[in-house]
Amino acid sequence: MTDAPLTHLRTLVDRLRSERRLSADGYKALLLCADAGVCEYLHEQARQVAVERFGQRIFIRGLIEISNACRNNCLYCGLRAMNRKLRRYTLSQSEILDCCRAGYRLGFRTFVLQSGEDKRGDNTWYVKLVEAIRREFPDCAITLSLGEKPPFLYRRLYQAGANRYLLRHETHNAAHYRQLHTAHMSQQHRLDCLVQLKEIGYQTGTGIMVGTPGQTVDHLVEDIEYIRAFRPEMIGIGPFIPPADTPFADQPAGSVGMTLKLLSLFRLMHPAALIPATTALATLAPNGRQQGILAGANVVMPNLSPPETRAQYAIYNNKASLGAESAEGLALLARELNDIGYRIAYERGDYQQEPSPCNNE
């Protein structure tokens, strides 16, 4: 390759940093770029933007995997209903509160409750759970990641004290969505849920897996444009990891390099967003969490679930849940962060609205 295209790519990175957007061709050129120097330049710019806003500090969220029961059959997920090999569990309210107590003692001020989309008809169970956590931990943020629920339940959970909701849109391309889901699931329904969550007032997170079967660079450009328009407060990007006993068991895993490029693009486009270095990234690459942070991520989500259920929350195989990926391993995480010049931020770390340029007028 000659120098000219590389100079052009660096110019694109500069433009993305200053203007926070590119043309579709511009995104595509950066996603396709394989030059190590340009990729490092992209990560460096994203890292600078994150450090300017947050300092060299990484927010921690305690992840509690409250149930692996799911009625859906997303083809990419080990929790899918048709995976009969998985032993199912659901934590009780008191077990979940115990996880929160343990997490609070360790310094966590955000709890993320995640689960499959269970068949429970009794929605009041969730409301009572959120109320109980809110009562006992008034200074903590409660993040939910429970999948698609009816709007009235989203509203009641918000009124009960939940603050944030994570619901990745997974792919914005309709044909690709169909490749990843069974016929009874609706992409429009998921996108509608995201709109409702934002309207209700949740800090809302969306995102994608990188490298799901059938995903193309054009799909990724569509995802970038959707996320740009939606303006989520949180953006979750992790590589696809093939799970055993699913239709995608023999598919290749997503690319770490592409995941890192996307993290950097999103940091440059959304300087204030909360962007985790995901567990999937840490699972796939030995220093994935550090690489994610050096590409512009500013959140990690150590596992606070009871150690005996962690292996059963098998969205994919060999999911990291020990060492620096575990809540008990915070000291190890602190050392890992220290090695790259960062430290843990123990506060709640809510999304802070960007100062609008119009406010200065």
Which residues of this protein are in contact with ligand SF4, per CB under 6 A? 70, 72, 74, 77, 79-80, 116-117, 147
User: Toward ligand SF4, which CB reaches closer, 79 or 91?
Assistant: 79
Distance in Å, CB of 332 to ligand SAH, minimum: 23
**Three-state SS for 55?**
coil
80 binds, among ligand SAH, ligand SF4, none (CB under 5 to 8 A by kind): ligand SF4
What are the tokens at 283?
């699972």
Contacts of 271 (CB under 8 A, 6+ apart): 20, 49, 50, 52, 53, 354
Distance in Å, CB of 68 to ligand SF4, minimum: 8
Select from 252, 223, 194 the least CA-distant residue to 76.
Answer: 252
In terms of DSSP bridges, do strands 141-145 and 110-115 run parallel, antiparallel, or are they unpaired? Answer: parallel
Q: What stretches of 107-163 show up as alpha helix (H) in DSSP?
A: 124-136, 151-160
Asked if residue 316 binds ligand SAH (CB under 6 A), the reply is yes
x-marked contacts with ligand SAH along 51-90 as a string, rule CB under 6 A: -------------------------xx-------------
Q: How far apart are CA 139 and CA 157, in angstroms?
A: 17
26 binds, among ligand SAH, ligand SF4, none (CB under 5 to 8 A by kind): none
Q: Which of 47, 109, 168, 172 binds ligand SAH (CB under 6 A)?
A: 168
Asked if residue 170 binds ligand SAH (CB under 6 A), the reply is yes
What are the tokens at 250?
């023999």
3-class DSSP string for 179-211: HHCCCCCCHHHHHHHHHHHHHHCCEEEEEEEEC
Distance in Å, CB of 56 to ligand SAH, minimum: 28
Q: How far apart are CA 242 and CA 226, in angstroms?
A: 25
User: Toward ligand SAH, which CB reaches closer, 16 or 74?
Assistant: 74
Residue ranges with strand state E in the chain: 57-60, 62-67, 110-115, 141-145, 164-166, 203-210, 234-239, 299-300, 343-345
Distance in Å, CB of 39 to ligand SF4, minimum: 29
User: Toward ligand SF4, which CB reaches closer, 77 or 129?
Assistant: 77
168 binds, among ligand SF4, ligand SAH, none (CB under 5 to 8 A by kind): ligand SAH
Distance in Å, CB of 343 to ligand SAH, minimum: 28
Asked if residue 203 binds ligand SAH (CB under 6 A), the reply is no
Q: How far apart are CA 14 and CA 38, in angstroms?
A: 11
**Three-state SS for 8?**
helix
Contacting positions for ligand SAH (CB under 6 A)? 76-77, 114, 116-117, 145, 147, 167-168, 170, 209, 238, 240-241, 243, 280, 315-316
